[in-house]
Chain A
Amino acid sequence: MYIKPTHNLGQFFVNLSMRKILLTTFLLLTFLFPQTQDESNEIHMEETNNHHNDGNGSMVNNSSESATKAASIQNNSSTSEIIDAYLQLKNALTEDNKEKAAEAGNAILAAFSNFNISQLTEDEHKEYMEIVENAKEQAEHIVKSPIDHQREHFEVLSNDVKDLIALLGIETGTTLYETFCPMYNNPKGAMWLSETDEIKNPFYGSKMLKCGKVQKQMN
């Protein structure tokens, strides 16, 4: 009388552990297998990227004219996003618009993270990183500061963007104007970049919109 139920109970446990094993295996298969596939996809993508980078690297090293041209076009298309975001900030400040300036600050941060640094040579890379570290810090402050403070950071950022252009160039067909306000940052004055030669002062906004003069045209 006693043996039977024990036997049944034992069988029940055997069944239970088998079920457990089956269930675990099933779960493992369902969850792990797609993940493994994802991982292999990622690896595949990384490999593709590496190939892509290798391609770029060798293109830069290759001194043939077409290769250099191709590389510089790539540079330009990337700096143009940074320049666009910078001009968006500049225009917000000419309108005394703190919120829009803060948005532009975020756009600048995004543009820097979208920039593909793998295309840079070693020397370019070092200088680029220094410029970006500084520029990003300015943008971070612009996102969270009152407008006077935004303008102080904009002044520093303007020099960073100017140096970035000197390093990497601008897209063919784009014209920028280096404009100078002699009054801001007394007595030093301050520089900003504009897409137009019409003076609209971002350091003073409506207070002194027409203050400044074009110093240089960049193509």
Chain B
Amino acid sequence: MFVCIQFIPTNRNQSTEIFETDVTKIFEVPQNIQTLLNESCYDCHSNNTKYHWYDKIQPVSLFVERHINEGKKELNFSEFGAYSNRKQKSKLKFLISQVKDDKMPISSYALIYSNAKLSKSEKKEIMDWATTLRDSLK
């Protein structure tokens, strides 16, 4: 059974390019924020996931794929530049409130990937950046 399910195909959410619509290409994103976004958000909210070996084993692989699809539907930093101004503003609003309330990164994810967990000061850095960016949008 375990061997059989290994043959269930899943799509890998990976790409070598940085998209023209990536948030870092559209807006000035300071290096420290880029690092935080990469470590804590991009696995589920961009077109490029850094997989671990166990993510490629079924049934984990299927679970991870579904999870990433849902995450990207809500917010995809790789396509942020293609969002309307209105949508960018609301996405930033909810980014701030989700980080503030510790809803993001999701606790089960942060538990497995300890790198993804945001410290109090990192939370503040991200929230301040998002607030400034949001206010700068018309």
Contact = CB atoms under 8 A, between A and B. Distances in A.
Contact of A152 (B85, B86, B87, B94): B94
Interface in A5-26: none
A131 B90 contact: no
13 contacts: A130-B84, A130-B85, A130-B87, A131-B86, A133-B84, A133-B87, A134-B84, A134-B87, A134-B90, A137-B87, A152-B93, A156-B93, A160-B86
A138 interface: yes
A137 B90 contact: yes
A214 B97 CA distance: 27
The 6 closest A-B pairs by CB, nearest first: A130-B84, A134-B86, A156-B90, A134-B87, A130-B86, A134-B90
Contacts of A160: 86
Given A137-B90, A138-B90, A152 B84 contact: no
A158 to B, nearest CB: 12
Interface of A: 130-131, 133-134, 137-138, 152, 156, 160
Nearest to A130: B84
Nearest to A155: B93
Main secondary structure of the interface of A (DSSP, over half): helix
Contacts of A138: 90
A134 B90 CA distance: 8
A160 B85 CA distance: 12
Nearest to A156: B90
Given A130-B86, A131-B86, A134-B87, 13 more contacts: A130-B85, A130-B87, A133-B84, A134-B84, A134-B86, A134-B90, A137-B87, A137-B90, A138-B90, A152-B94, A152-B97, A156-B90, A160-B86
B69 to A, nearest CB: 16
Nearest to A129: B84
Task: Pick from B86, B87, B97 the residue with the most CB of A within 10 Å.
Answer: B86
Interface in B71-90: 84-87, 90
A32 B92 CA distance: 54
Nearest to B135: A188
Interface in B48-69: none
A160 B93 CA distance: 14
A133 B93 CA distance: 16
Nearest to B88: A134
Contacts of B84: 130, 133-134
Contacts of B86: 130-131, 134, 160
Nearest to B87: A134
A121 B57 CA distance: 52
Contacts of A134: 84, 86-87, 90
Contacts of B93: 152, 156
A203 B63 CA distance: 36
Interface string B86-114: 11001001100100000000000000000
A133 B86 CA distance: 9
A131 B90 CA distance: 11
Nearest to A131: B86
Contacts of A152: 93-94, 97
A133 B90 CA distance: 11
Contacts of A137: 87, 90
